[in-house]
Amino acid sequence: MSGPGDRTSAVAASRLRIDPVACDGVGVCAHLAPDLIELDRWGYPVIPAGDLSRRELAAAQRAVQGCPHKAMWIERVDAPVPANWGPAAQLS
């Protein structure tokens, strides 16, 4: 939790997640988001491990909505960011 003396704040990051048990390897997700999701040799999705960019987030949302087994979701996580990071830091 942030206190008055903390020099960090929280920024929401998004990550694509998959339930490998629920996934049947249909491949609709890779069709809807080909720049983001690849299929392995059995047809199961291989997803990025890190945070999604805004463009990737839009593609991930299409994939999540199109999954016939609802095996994908977007996880929102708070990542601490130093107070001197970003455009405001360049002004000082």
pLDDT of residue 74: 96
Closest residue by Cα to residue 46 from 56, 34, 58 = 34
Alpha helices by DSSP H, listed for 26-83, are 28-32, 54-66
Q: Tens digit of pLDDT for each residue in 34-67?
A: 999 999 999 999 998 899 999 999 999 999 999 9
pTM of the model: 0.70
Between CA 23 and CA 15, with CA 32 as vertex, the angle to 5 degrees is 65
CA 54 to each of CA 2, 14, 46: distance values in angstroms, whole numbers, following the listed order: 26, 9, 19
Please name the CATH architecture into which domain 20-80 falls.
2-Layer Sandwich (3.30)
Domain boundaries, the chain: 20-80
What does the alpha-carbon distance between residue 72 and residue 62 come to, in Å, rounded to a whole number? 11
Closest residue by Cα to residue 13 from 70, 53, 73 = 53
